[in-house]
């Protein structure tokens, strides 16, 4: 997924269709010169509808779309014929898309399943024809309802990536390298901070042709929840991950402290993130000698953990097993083995 093609935020002006006017018509035929009212109802205005599409990964196709208008309903006709409904606007979006009112920030809709449809803005109702207003004392009503106006609104569409496992760590923790090793994804890898500027997805193969999706989120820094660095922009992608894989390099001065800082940033952004299953991977273990490894083992947070090296392959299978068990809501023992 090329960084320039990853779009996870768009702002669009939507307008649903206006309802058609009801008809004020009277039956007039050769042998019925003074027939009663027979005006039909107006058609409803077109809806603005969101539809989930699992084949879309970003909002790129909507990047340059600024206005989308649904069709207006047609007016009613004679012989109580109802006007045609306005054409709906169906906007296909990737799974994990959230719609918000751009002015108030109010949540409007959320798409999480393929083929799921949600009406974002309803079209205006069609007006009633004059046949509805006939009474015993008013046999020839000379009025009909106008169509209801449509709804117009600026809407923000935000993508929150749907993935089984989300990688959480500071820049240069080895997240992109791990993703490239366990999947076919080819994220940019370099020995400097913020190499990853957009989320990357990879499918991780497991036993018996099973698999799960892993997401590499751009590195978090201390203060990300307050808007520092790139973290705030991408923290929302972590909300949709089933399991959070924290990654701290073995070269860190204090693995437990670094993990605590990452956890604090997630809690400050959204306390509900702490309810997700968590796993710790101590990375770059090929750089740690036996003495350092012994010290690290004594200073680990009390969560499932594994020591890995993406370069040598050490601990990678143990990590897959641990993640698979967590995804299936099991409670495996700590994976402290160095293999």
Residue 223 forms beta bridges with which residues? none
> How far apart, in whole angstroms, are the C-alpha atoms of residue 66 and residue 63?
8
Cβ-contact 212, 204 below 8 angstroms = yes
Phi and psi of 121, rounded to 5°? -135, 125
Topology match between the domains 1-159 and 165-327:
no
Q: E strands of 145-289, at which residues?
A: 152-159, 165-168, 200-205, 211-216, 243-249, 278-283
Closest by Cα among 138, 148, 141, 124 to 39? 141
| Its pTM surpasses 0.75 | no
- 333/136 Cα distance (integer angstroms): 81
Q: Are 113 and 84 in contact (CB under 8 A)?
A: no
Break the chain into its structural domains and give their ranges: 1-159, 165-327
Asked if 312 contacts 286 with a C-beta cutoff of 8 angstroms, the reply is yes
- Among 2.70.210.12, 3.30.70.3040, 3.40.50.720, 3.90.110.10, what is the CATH number of 1-159? 2.70.210.12
What pLDDT is recorded for position 189?
45
Per-residue pLDDT tens listing for the chain (339 residues): 444 566 888 999 999 999 999 999 888 877 777 778 888 999 999 999 999 998 888 888 998 999 999 999 999 988 889 999 999 999 999 988 999 999 999 999 999 899 999 999 999 999 999 898 888 888 888 889 999 999 999 999 988 877 889 888 887 778 888 888 888 766 554 444 444 456 777 888 888 778 888 888 776 655 544 545 454 566 777 787 889 999 888 888 788 888 888 888 888 888 888 889 999 988 888 877 777 777 777 777 888 888 888 888 888 999 999 999 888 874 444 444 443
| Model pLDDT, residue 106 | 93
Q: Does domain 165-327 have CATH number 3.40.50.2000?
A: no
Centroid of chain to Cα 297:
38
Separation of alpha carbons 43 and 147, rounded Å: 8
């Amino acid at each position: 997924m090329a960084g320039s093609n990853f779009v996870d935020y768009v702002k669009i002006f939507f307008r649903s269709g206006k309802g058609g006017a009801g008809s004020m018509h009277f039956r007039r035929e050769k042998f019925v010169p003074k027939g009663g009212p027979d005006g039909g109802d107006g058609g409803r205005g077109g809806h603005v509808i969101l539809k989930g599409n699992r084949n879309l990964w970003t909002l790129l196709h909507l990047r340059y779309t600024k206005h989308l208008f649904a069709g207006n309903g047609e007016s009613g006709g004679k012989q109580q014929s109802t006007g045609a409904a306005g054409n709906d606007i169906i906007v296909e979006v990737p799974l994990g898309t959230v719609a918000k009112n751009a002015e108030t920030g109010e949540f409007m809709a959320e798409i999480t399943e393929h083929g799921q449809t949600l009406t974002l803005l309803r079209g205006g109702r069609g007006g009633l024809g004059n046949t509805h207003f006939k009474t015993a004392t008013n046999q020839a009503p000379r009025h009909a309802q106008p169509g209801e106006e449509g709804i117009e609104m600026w809407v923000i569409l935000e993508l929150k990536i749907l993935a089984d496992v989300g990688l959480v760590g500071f820049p240069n923790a080895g997240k992109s390298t791990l993703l490239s090793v366990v999947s076919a994804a080819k994220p940019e890898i370099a020995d400097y901070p913020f190499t990853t500027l957009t989320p990357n997805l990879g499918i991780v193969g497991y036993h018996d042709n099973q698999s799960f999706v892993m997401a590499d989120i751009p590195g978090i820094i201390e203060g990300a929840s307050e808007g520092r660095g790139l973290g705030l922009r991408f923290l929302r992608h972590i909300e949709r991950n089933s399991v959070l894989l924290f990654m701290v390099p073995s070269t860190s001065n204090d693995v437990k402290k670094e993990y605590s800082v990452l956890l604090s940033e997630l809690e400050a952004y959204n306390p509900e993130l702490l309810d997700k299953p968590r796993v710790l991977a101590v990375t770059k273990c090929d750089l740690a000698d036996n003495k350092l490894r012994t010290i690290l083992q004594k200073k680990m947070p009390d969560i499932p953990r594994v020591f890995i090296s993406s370069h040598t392959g050490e601990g990678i299978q143990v990590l897959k097993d641990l993640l698979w068990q967590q995804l299936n809501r099991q409670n495996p023992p700590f994976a402290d083995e160095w293999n």
